[in-house]
Amino acid sequence: MSDDFVIDVTRIRDQVRQKMDEGPVTGTYGHDPKRVIGVLNDVVATEVVCWLRYTRHAIAASGIDRAQVSAEFTEHAKEELDHGLRAAERISQLGGDPDFDPAKLAQRSHTDYTTPPDDDLKQMLRDNLEAERIVIATYQEIIRWLGDGDPTTRRLMESILEEEEDHADDLVDLLGI
């Protein structure tokens, strides 16, 4: 530890005792928790829509390459649901309420729910690649916005982003582009 780095533990101890009901959110939290909760709720909506789209495509897919494509969609679907649940857990930690209201999910999602013809695997792959590229771009923006004001949410989003980039790469491989 450098000589000029001093933590005023006495002040911090006094501060944290004042708002014990805020749990992990302390005076050093570098954002407005309400705004972060709002952004995370849009992530929840996005992930649920991605889970629905992949699940639908996995079940509907038909044709000679069905098995391979459907297996990939099923795997991605599982991970999208996990992303949504992790974002929802973080919302709860920050003192918010995760919003799973189906009536509002599609409006808040960054990506669309699409229904290409069952035998058009290429279009399914393209729709999902487009969605992955959208979330890669929007999650990068969220990560930059979070900066160092909320390292835990930023790490969560970074870990989700890493998987989205993997998903996009898988889809490019299957599309052969």
Nearer to Fe ion, 90 or 167 (CB): 167
**150 lies in the site for Fe ion, by CB under 5 A:** no
Instruction: Decide: 120 and 114 in contact? Cβ < 8 Å.
Output: no
Nearer to Fe ion, 11 or 78 (CB): 78
Q: How far apart are CA 42 and CA 107, in angstroms?
A: 9
To Fe ion, the closest distance from the beta carbon of 136 in angstroms equals: 9
Q: How far apart are CA 122 and CA 133, in angstroms?
A: 16
Q: How far is CA 160 from the centre of its chain?
A: 6
**Residue selected from 41, 49, 53, 83 as contacting Fe ion according to rule CB under 5 A:** 83
**167 lies in the site for Fe ion, by CB under 5 A:** yes
**Residue selected from 72, 99, 127, 164 as contacting Fe ion according to rule CB under 5 A:** 164
Contact region with Fe ion (CB under 5 A), list: 10-18, 29-37, 39-47, 109-117: 39-47
- Residue type (1 letter), 42: D
Nearer to Fe ion, 101 or 166 (CB): 166
- CB half-sphere exposure, 169, CA atoms < 13 A: 6
Instruction: Decide: 127 and 114 in contact? Cβ < 8 Å.
Output: yes
Q: Which residues bind Fe ion (CB under 5 A)?
A: 47, 80, 83, 132, 164, 167
